[in-house]
Amino acid sequence: MPLPAPDTDRHVNPLLPGRQAARLLAAAVLVLAALATGCSPDPADADLRDRPGSISSARTPAAPGPDHAGPQDDSSTLDLVASSHTDPASPWVVVNKPNPLDPSGFEPELTTVRGYLVQPVLVDDLTALLAAAADDDVHLTLRSAYRSYDYQAEVYDGWVRQLGHERADQVSAHPGHSEHQTGLALDLGSSSRPECDFEACFADTTEGRWVAAHASDFGFLLRYTEQNTAVTGFAPEGWHVRYVGRELAAYMRNHEITTLEEVFDVPGGTDYP
């Protein structure tokens, strides 16, 4: 199935300085050229389908969800230097093709949720998200979380062998450039249509629609969308969420900014250094 072409006009935030807008337009052109090469294969995470399944655990009581928390009126302003976007341990760190983790072999503090390794900072919000979804009779699964530098190298190399460098770069990050190495990124799955896990059709599942509508209420961004492909440098992944905390997620929602690159004015796009 061909990928929808990115709507490049929507990538240019009117608030962006001209230099950044020009950079994003250039990135959009590159992505359009890359997409013209053919159908998108399974995404970067697809080779993780055979990973161990989730470990069931007692569900904690539901935390206030988006329907119960009331409006977030304080989300229009935020100190955007309150946390670093370059420190690999920061929940605001920007990791993309131009910006590797520094050091590239960074290893975060980790704990487990349903058998998957994640940073402790996101456990409460992830638990609340999963419980709120369940309250709505939406049963999300976890499919992937932390990946080490070495494991990401294996993942990427596998895609290169299968697709070649050009197409592998559309769907898989080089080691040191993956959000999964931060322990802040998760790939969610569908219990109603598990055949859509790591596939474009996840976005159309009950679970995918719930995630798109509610993830930001719990501090998670839907990181790679059809609309922001030129900025992020990756094909859309409706299952990949990135924890940034509730304050930043609310700020971005309030300002209709969908990428960390734009909120912190950090280069994105498809070019590695």
Interacting residues toward Zn ion by CB under 5 A? 45, 187, 240
- Alpha carbons 217 and 261: distance in angstroms, whole number: 20
- Alpha carbons 227 and 206: distance in angstroms, whole number: 21
- Report, in Å, the least distance between residue 185 CB and Zn ion: 5
- Report, in Å, the least distance between residue 55 CB and Zn ion: 19
Left, alpha or beta for 233 (phi > 0: left; psi -120 to 50: alpha)? left
Smaller CB separation from Zn ion, 197 or 247: 197
- Report, in Å, the least distance between residue 132 CB and Zn ion: 21
Smaller CB separation from Zn ion, 187 or 261: 187
Smaller CB separation from Zn ion, 43 or 75: 43
Smaller CB separation from Zn ion, 24 or 145: 145
H/E element, 144: strand 140-144
- Report, in Å, the least distance between residue 207 CB and Zn ion: 15
Phi, psi for 112 (deg, rounded to 5):
-115, 145
- Report, in Å, the least distance between residue 47 CB and Zn ion: 12
Smaller CB separation from Zn ion, 75 or 96: 96
CA-based angle 264:270:273, to the nearest 5? 80
- Report, in Å, the least distance between residue 239 CB and Zn ion: 7
Give the residue closest to Zn ion by C-beta: 240
Question: DSSP 3-state assignment of 69?
Answer: coil
- Alpha carbons 165 and 159: distance in angstroms, whole number: 8
- Report, in Å, the least distance between residue 144 CB and Zn ion: 6
CA-based angle 94:100:104, to the nearest 5? 125
Smaller CB separation from Zn ion, 11 or 240: 240
Smaller CB separation from Zn ion, 45 or 125: 45
- Alpha carbons 222 and 234: distance in angstroms, whole number: 12
Question: DSSP 3-state assignment of 28?
Answer: helix
- CB contact at 8 A, 97 and 173: yes
- Alpha carbons 272 and 92: distance in angstroms, whole number: 21
